[in-house]
Amino acid sequence: MIDDHRWMGAALALGDRGRGRTAPNPNVGCVIVSDGRVVGRGWTQPGGRPHAEAMALAEAGEKARGASVSVTLEPCAHVSPRGPACSDLLQLAGVARVVVALGDPDMRTNGAGIARLRDAGITVEVGVRADEARRAMAGFLARRLLARPQVTLKLALSLDGAMALASGQSVWITGPEARAHAHLERARHEAIVVGRGTFEADAPTLDVRLAGLEARSPRRLLLSRTEADGWTRLAAPADIATLDSVDHVLVEGGPAAAAAFLSADLVDRLLLYRAPILIGGGRTLPDIGLTDLADAHGRWCLIDSRSLGSDRLEVYERVREPAPGERG
């Protein structure tokens, strides 16, 4: 049990390498362990193929026989023009045991991958570190369950909730550590959205300004009701559903764009970078359609918080009823 937990941690870390680059496929991670030693490691490659299991099996070779496999998502059961089914590959390689974090909601797999492995006499455990896997593959799951990408809203705030001065003066609220973290988050998303007000105030380049990660700068989208030269335009928040090969969207503000996404209940995750300052009379979040305070409660759950220099990062997750067909 402790080992399953530990190896799944390694698989999750591998899967994270693909985050923001594997759409439309999930960013799966996989480790193959034989006699307590890792003999194969794999993660979904950019564009979605090869799959994590195929990569790990290729590394393990003959050592996969009798080995134990930890994989963050149920191995696929469907043969595609781009490759064979991973459940078949695992069986052919002669693995003895497969530990799965999360079932695959894709209609072509959806339990069939696990059934095939069991039919072949392979021991299968399901549900190890399922919550972490759900978070790690939230973009893929949102596509399957909500028919749209996962949306993260990033806000830099003073303690009194100001995102900008009343003057509209463009300013840094948070310090360099928080800004570096925000750039790292950009690299984990296929697309970034800003409102026209922010575009005009800050003319943001919205690239990833971190050494070695420049190539991972995401697509830039402008939320506006009017045309925008040289930019992909979102005419409304709901249009994110139409974006091709985008499973993770980062909304970077400003206040009106944030409110537009929140009003449409299209935010799954909040990244709040909070500076230890009071501004007073600044620009805060405008109306989001709340009429009764009771509706505000029970929607957000703090899942992480940490210090970044003198600022604090808080990560909140939208609490949702399980969608129809969602499995653990």
Ligand X SMILES: NC(=O)c1ccc[n+]([C@@H]2O[C@H](COP(=O)([O-])OP(=O)(O)OC[C@H]3O[C@@H](n4cnc5c(N)ncnc54)[C@H](OP(=O)(O)O)[C@@H]3O)[C@@H](O)[C@H]2O)c1
Q: 181, 202, 171, 164: which is closest to 311 by C-alpha? A: 181
The residue within the footprint of a second copy, chosen from 286, 304, 306, 323 (CB under 8 A), is 286
Question: DSSP E strands: which ranges in the chain?
Answer: 29-34, 37-43, 68-73, 97-102, 123-126, 150-157, 191-195, 219-223, 232-234, 248-251, 269-274, 300-308, 311-318
The residue within the footprint of a second copy, chosen from 52, 173, 187, 257 (CB under 8 A), is 173
The residue within the footprint of a second copy, chosen from 11, 30, 259, 271 (CB under 8 A), is 259
Is 53 designated active site? yes
Candidates 4-12, 20-28, 33-41, 247-255: pick the segment binding ligand X (CB under 6 A).
247-255
Contacts of 252 (CB under 8 A, 6+ apart): 154, 192, 193, 194, 198, 204, 206
Confirm or reject binding of residue 285 to a second copy (CB under 8 A).
Answer: yes
Candidates 34-42, 126-134, 205-213, 274-282: pick the segment binding a second copy (CB under 8 A).
274-282
- Tell me if 14 sits within 8 A of 42, measured CB to CB: yes
The interface partner of residue 276, options being ligand X, a second copy, none and the CB cut-off 5 to 8 Å by kind, is a second copy
Q: Which tokens is 268 given?
A: 């799954």
SS3 content of the chain, % helix, strand, coil (to 5): 30, 25, 45
Confirm or reject binding of residue 252 to ligand X (CB under 6 A).
Answer: yes
Say which DSSP state 174 is in. S
The interface partner of residue 236, options being a second copy, ligand X, none and the CB cut-off 5 to 8 Å by kind, is ligand X
Contacts of 55 (CB under 8 A, 6+ apart): 30, 40, 41, 42, 43, 45
- Tell me if 1 sits within 8 A of 129, measured CB to CB: no
The interface partner of residue 159, options being ligand X, a second copy, none and the CB cut-off 5 to 8 Å by kind, is a second copy
Angle at 216 between CA 213 and CA 219, to 5 degrees: 145
Confirm or reject binding of residue 173 to ligand X (CB under 6 A).
Answer: yes
The interface partner of residue 188, options being ligand X, a second copy, none and the CB cut-off 5 to 8 Å by kind, is none
Cα 216 from Cα 21, distance rounded (Å): 9
Confirm or reject binding of residue 303 to a second copy (CB under 8 A).
Answer: no
Name which of residues 105 to 164 contact a second copy (CB under 8 A): 157-162
The residue within the footprint of a second copy, chosen from 297, 321, 322, 324 (CB under 8 A), is 297
Confirm or reject binding of residue 312 to a second copy (CB under 8 A).
Answer: yes
Which residues contact a second copy (rule: CB under 8 A)?
157-162, 165-166, 169, 171-173, 259, 262-263, 270, 272, 275-282, 284-290, 293, 296-297, 299-302, 312, 316
* Residues recognised as catalytic: 53
